A and B are shown apart, each in its own frame.
Chain A
Amino acid sequence: MILKLAWRNIWRNKRRTLVVLISIIVSVVVLMLLDTLSIGMLKQMLDNQISLHISHIQIHKNGYKDDKTVKNYISDELTVEKTIKEIEEVKSYSKRVISYGLINSAYNSSGIIIVGIQPDKEKSITIISNLIIEGKYIERNGEILISKKLAQKLKTEIGDKLVLMASDIDGNVASEVFRVVGIFESPHSEFDKTHIYITISDAQRMLKIDKIIEFALILKDQKYVNVVKEKISKKIGNPYEVLTYAEVVPFIGIIIDMYKQLIWIYYLIFGVAVVFGIINIMLMSVFERMREFGVLKAIGMKNKNIFSLIVLESFIIGVLGTVIGIIIGFALYIPLSKYGIDLGIFAESLAWFGSGRVIYPVLTWFTLFLLFVTMPFIAILGAIYPALKSTKFEPVEALKHI
């Protein structure tokens, strides 16, 4: 009966209810798109970082993280490799030799990070081989892969020769000539400016080491990173540092944490806007029905029942708005998650963040939970003051109300 009474009361003044309902629906839809797009952007940023270079787990000699020089090479590569092979959660791995250096063309030069890779194995670790926009992927010694941005800076084309310079293991300047065989373009502009690829044997020869600097691992699932890190650390011990992607690029973790706090502000802003709407209509409704409350009190309805009735009316509006909002939100989300949103006008900043210009929204259970809970909660919150007001009237005063 109370539910029936609440439901019918809501529709007494359809226009007023619809205005609040629409404000809730719009809030839910906007929050859903905002939240899913932001999560999608962060996810793409992280995924791109992982698939572009970072991988899930990196293993180095202990201390490499703070001193990225060739002298910090992995001395017992076989033991580490044997350990990696024993861990079932590892999908694939690759070895790398990495060093800072300088790249020179006939026209220009640039500071870069030289990445010596095992071309075949690297294909299962990163997506670099899929990002070639001109030429081909490196296959043999003497070949170099550079980005479009760097090619533009160096005024270089496929087939041109470039000189790489770097300090070798003895501290001497080493230089070698490479032929450009491929040009790539990734979603991350800052990455593109700095990374070039040659074969691992070229890098070893140039830097005069027969060791490697890094193992890059891709796991069967990202969720295993901490388990695998622990397993490897336990087996290979102190001489090596085993880093998860979150430790390699901590700024992404910071951005994600910041976002998690920022989203509460979004919800708060929409919540405050809706709560005043709710207070407004519920107060109007309470004052209009004061006489009825007097009657209900006179026939024996207790204040707590009247309080519950008002809160229930508001809660129903909150739930109804949320459900409709989520249905509309889903209708927009499903195609957007499939085809993405091209945020071309922000392309430059998105490239800087490394998320790509087409963002695919991602809906998480937590977002869905927040969306389901927020507006009904706000509706209850907004109804408390009007509901309290309704309990303050003495029945005799309320009955006199016209």
Chain B
Amino acid sequence: MKIITTENLTKIYTDGKVEVIALKNVNLEIHSGEFIVVAGPSGSGKTTLLNLIGGLDKPTDGKVYFEGKDITTIKRDELADLRLKKIGFIFQAYNLIPVLTVFENVEIPLVLLKVDEKRRREMVMEILTKLGISELANKRPNEISGGQQQRVAVARAIITNPTLVLADEPTAHLDSKTGGMLIDIMQKMNSERKITFVICSHDPQVIQRAGRLIRLRDGMIEDDKKLW
């Protein structure tokens, strides 16, 4: 089943009189259950592609369809709803809310979805246990390691059981062992929960685990290979 379809997706940034083409006529289809790695050098347009697919940014030209619906023209609140219910984000810098505990950080999307408190507690503890960080539930982000923070970010991204998880350089700030463990977790969630992952990375150990590898260069797809 097609989750994402992009049509001639183009993004041009304007800095004064200078125009920078970040993405140019990208046509892409993403299917349910895929484990995609988008690779490419810095400035190739990986993050831009991810932001456009996730509805965090608007394209200069072209369309993005999420489950058949054009998300480039819908209203902000509708987009927020879509992200809340269908898309999870994992960022390079973890981006946890520092004043909230691990438990509360993971709980936010469920609060926004108005899930009742008892059910929230069960769901959060279940995911934290699955990711091996249940003992950190009451700690604040600054009290745990980078690897642990990124696992919390994964928990937050998948707590609502989204259709799609978008991860932007998730291992960039982690050592190779921790990075490998994180990829294990994401792959496990992909196979167990059938969550589609699109991961931007130039980390070789991430690239070698890709189920489908898309290579970007200068804002265009250079190569798109299904590996498993």
Contacts and interface: CB of A to CB of B under 8 A. Distances in A.
A90 B95 CA distance: 76
A64 B68 CA distance: 91
A295 B99 contact: no
B81 A300 contact: yes
Interface string A193-235: 0000000000000000000000000000000000000000000
Contact of A1 (B84, B85, B107, B157): B107
Contacts of A284: none
A297 B80 contact: yes
Contacts of A394: 56-57
A1 B83 contact: no
Given A300-B112, A303-B76, A295 B85 contact: no
Interface in B31-81: 51, 54, 56-57, 76-77, 80-81
Contact of B80 (A12, A300, A399): A300
Interface residues of B, number: 27
Contacts of B169: none
Contacts of B85: 300
A292 interface: yes
Interface in B76-102: 76-77, 80-81, 83-85, 88-89, 91, 95, 97-100
Interface in A1-39: 1-2, 4-5, 8-9, 12
A357 B39 CA distance: 84
A207 B88 CA distance: 100
A299 B56 contact: no
A298 interface: yes
A273 interface: no
Interface of A (DSSP majority class): helix
Tell me which of A5, A295, A305 has the highest count of chain B C-beta atoms within 10 A of its own C-beta.
A295
Given A1-B108, A305-B112, A295 B97 contact: yes
Contacts of B99: 5, 8-9, 12
A177 interface: no
Interface residues of A, number: 25
B77 A302 contact: yes
A394 B51 CA distance: 11
Contacts of A396: 51, 56-57
Nearest to A304: B77
Contacts of B81: 300, 302
Interface string A374-402: 00000000000000000000111001000
Interface string B100-122: 10001001110110000000000
B215 interface: no
Contacts of A294: 95
A61 interface: no
B156 A298 contact: no
B56 A298 contact: yes
Interface in B99-155: 99-100, 104, 107-109, 111-112
A301 B57 contact: no
A394 B157 CA distance: 20
A302 B95 contact: no
Given A1-B111, A298-B54, A298-B89, A291 B95 contact: yes
Nearest to B97: A292
A401 to B, nearest CB: 11
Contacts of A296: 97, 108
A395 B104 contact: no
Contacts of A302: 76-77, 80-81
A296 B97 CA distance: 9
Interface string B152-167: 0000110000000000
A299 B54 CA distance: 10
Contacts of B89: 295, 298-299
B138 to A, nearest CB: 13
Tell me which of A294, A296, A299, A303 has the highest count of chain B C-beta atoms within 10 A of its own C-beta.
A299
Interface string B167-194: 0000000000000000000000000000
Nearest to B51: A396
B97 A399 contact: no
Tell me which of A12, A292, A302 has the highest count of chain B C-beta atoms within 10 A of its own C-beta.
A302
Given A9-B99, A295-B91, A396-B51, A301 B104 contact: no
Given A1-B111, A395-B56, A396-B56, A299 B83 contact: yes
B107 A399 contact: no
A297 B76 CA distance: 10
A295 B157 CA distance: 11
B92 to A, nearest CB: 10
Given A298-B56, A301-B112, A399-B95, 19 more contacts: A1-B111, A4-B100, A9-B99, A295-B91, A297-B56, A298-B54, A299-B112, A299-B156, A300-B81, A300-B85, A300-B112, A301-B84, A301-B108, A303-B77, A304-B77, A305-B112, A394-B56, A396-B51, A396-B57
15 contacts: A1-B104, A1-B108, A1-B111, A4-B100, A5-B97, A8-B100, A292-B97, A296-B97, A296-B108, A300-B84, A300-B109, A300-B112, A302-B77, A302-B81, A303-B77
Interface of B: 51, 54, 56-57, 76-77, 80-81, 83-85, 88-89, 91, 95, 97-100, 104, 107-109, 111-112, 156-157
Interface of A: 1-2, 4-5, 8-9, 12, 291-292, 294-305, 394-396, 399
- In the A-B complex, the 5 residue pairs with the smallest Cβ-Cβ separation, listed nearest first, are A300-B84, A8-B99, A396-B57, A1-B111, A295-B95
